[in-house]
Copies of this chain bind each other. A is one copy, B any other.
Amino acid sequence: MPILSRIPKRVRVVEVGPRDGLQNEPTRVASHNKISFINALSEAGLRVIETTSFVSPKAVPQMADAGDVMLGITPYPGVCYPVLVPNERGYDRARESGCTAIALFTAASEQFSQKNVNATIAETFQRFAPIAQRAREDGVWVRGYVSTATDCPYSGHVDPEDAIRVAERLIELGCDEVALADTVGLATPKRLGELLERACARLPVTRLALHLHDTGGLALANVIIGLDYGVTTFDAAAGGLGGCPFAPGAPGNLATERLLKLLHGLGIDTGIDETRVADAIEQLHAAYPELGRRNAA
């Protein structure tokens, strides 16, 4: 059966521009611009917007205003605003700011985990356990990220088995959704397919998301492979915000506009208005013309 007859009819786009995108931009963006951007994205029809990160302000100055941003946005009915939470302190701050959805962050590659968060993968799970426990008690929605699910900037190709084991542990921990992330943006469709072939045999595909970067120029091709395996949740950053810290000058996050063009061009419904997404990023560019330009197609 042709792929066009088999792919999902509806897809959920997770907007990660305000967090993953801005976090990797050298320009510091004012809180009120972030707030307007997030509100514009809500208006455009995005139903999941990763809003900010409650990391240490010293480690990531761009996210020092996490609480202000969270409290400043206009929550739209039906929109989920997850925030990144690295530890219990971050969880406390997130909850004080009214967050009802969080994201936890680990990796499939030991070397990446060590260099990125200075902890083994096992140690990240030890940190997560009490957070996941509290989230369950608080009725907080939890997303788990498996960074470097296909490629690691330090150790190269990642064994699909390593990524799947981490994904399984995140599900066991109570994550509502697990995002398999091609952090360096070098996954080939063939290798991503090998990962999904096995992942979908062992995990419910409805709980999997794909988080793709476009360093290698194959992010849209990889989306098609994801759709072929029944994945219905894809991450993207409006304006292609962000970059790849491991490949200076390379495009970073898959741009939401490009993802929408593909999905709509495949006849898939997203509920998102492409023009309004373009307006949202244009508004941000009016204040910061340099943002996301590394990703300009």
Output the nearest chain B residue to A229 by Cβ-Cβ distance: B2
Q: How many copies does the complex hold?
A: 2
Residue A297 at the chain B interface, CB threshold 8 Å: yes
Residue A193 at the chain B interface, CB threshold 8 Å: yes
Output the nearest chain B residue to A218 by Cβ-Cβ distance: B265
Residue A220 at the chain B interface, CB threshold 8 Å: yes
Report how far A193 CA is from B265 CA in the complex, Å: 11
Interchain CB contact under 8 A, A2 and B218: no
Residue A3 at the chain B interface, CB threshold 8 Å: yes
Interchain CB contact under 8 A, A266 and B4: no
On chain A, the number of residues with a Cβ less than 8 Å from chain B's Cβ atoms is 26
Residue A262 at the chain B interface, CB threshold 8 Å: yes
Known A217-B261, A218-B261; judge A225-B3 contact (CB<8 A): yes
Residue A197 at the chain B interface, CB threshold 8 Å: yes
Residue A57 at the chain B interface, CB threshold 8 Å: no
Min distance, Cβ A248 to any Cβ of chain B, angstroms: 16
Residue A228 at the chain B interface, CB threshold 8 Å: yes
Contacts of A224 in B (CB 8 A): 3, 221, 224
**Interface 1/0 per residue, A239-269 and B, CB below 8 Å:** 0000000000001000000100110111100
Residue A189 at the chain B interface, CB threshold 8 Å: yes
Report how far A197 CA is from B2 CA in the complex, Å: 9
Contacts of A221 in B (CB 8 A): 220-221, 224, 262, 265-266
Interchain CB contact under 8 A, A189 and B2: no
Report how far A197 CA is from B221 CA in the complex, Å: 20
Residue A61 at the chain B interface, CB threshold 8 Å: no
Report how far A229 CA is from B3 CA in the complex, Å: 9
Residue A216 at the chain B interface, CB threshold 8 Å: yes
Min distance, Cβ A188 to any Cβ of chain B, angstroms: 4
7 A-B pairs within 8 Å (CB atoms) are namely: A2-B193, A2-B228, A188-B265, A218-B261, A221-B221, A221-B262, A221-B265
Known: A189-B266, A216-B261. 8 other contacts (CB 8 A): A4-B190, A4-B225, A217-B261, A217-B297, A218-B262, A220-B220, A221-B221, A221-B266
